Amino acid sequence: MITRRLFDFPEFGWRNPIEEMERMRRYIDQLMGQADTGFRIPQAGVFPLINLTEKKDAYILRAELPGIQADNLDIQTTGRNITISGERKIEADQNATYHRRERQAGRFSRALTLPGDIDRDKIEASLKNGVLTVTAPKSEKAKARQIEIKS
């Protein structure tokens, strides 16, 4: 035991990876204990949530944007990228005490690269019941083409 403490035997200066992992686990447990007492760990969420589907002639992008009006949104395309940006406005009650506040207000931006080329002049967007639907037709060169086999 004395030899091990003095010379870090049998590792001779190398730290035991299991001990390092245990030290890190204790440190994380300590941080989580502080989280219960008011210390807040910042959360990185992704907003808005997006589904991207592909049909024979178009890509369909659906984004959940509850409570956001169409005039607070900006949709732009560059090449194969579509960017949705805007601002979520939530009125805060200054006279109330919040016990939980999970809905965030402020500006957001979400960029998505489509798997194929699109016809940017024919893109359509609609906002209904808090779901933004962007339909991006495929360009002619990106569409599948049936090739006839000659015999």
Q: Return the percentage of the chain with pLDDT > 70, whole number.
A: 79
pLDDT at 2 over 90: no
pLDDT at 36 over 60: no
The overall average pLDDT reported for the chain is 81
Query: What is the tens place of the pLDDT at every residue in 93-139?
Result: 888 888 887 777 888 899 999 999 999 999 999 999 999 999 999 98
Is residue 108 classed as helix, strand or coil in its secondary structure? strand
147-150: list long-range contacts, CB under 8 Å, 24+ apart.
Answer: none
* Greatest CA separation for the chain: 87
pLDDT at 41 over 50: no
| Average pLDDT rounded to a whole number, residues 20-45 | 66
Q: What are phi and psi of 125, to 5 degrees?
A: -140, 145
Could you tell me the pLDDT band of residue 74, with boundaries at 50, 70 and 90?
A: very high
30-39: list long-range contacts, CB under 8 Å, 24+ apart.
Answer: none
pLDDT at 13 over 60: no
Q: Range with the lowest mean pLDDT among 27-31, 38-42, 53-57?
A: 38-42
The per-residue pLDDT for 46 is 64
The per-residue pLDDT for 3 is 53
Both structure tokens of 126: 């609609």
pLDDT at 48 over 90: no
Parse the chain into domains and list their residue ranges. Answer: 2-36, 50-91+104-137
Fold of 50-91+104-137: Immunoglobulin-like (2.60.40)
pLDDT at 43 over 50: no
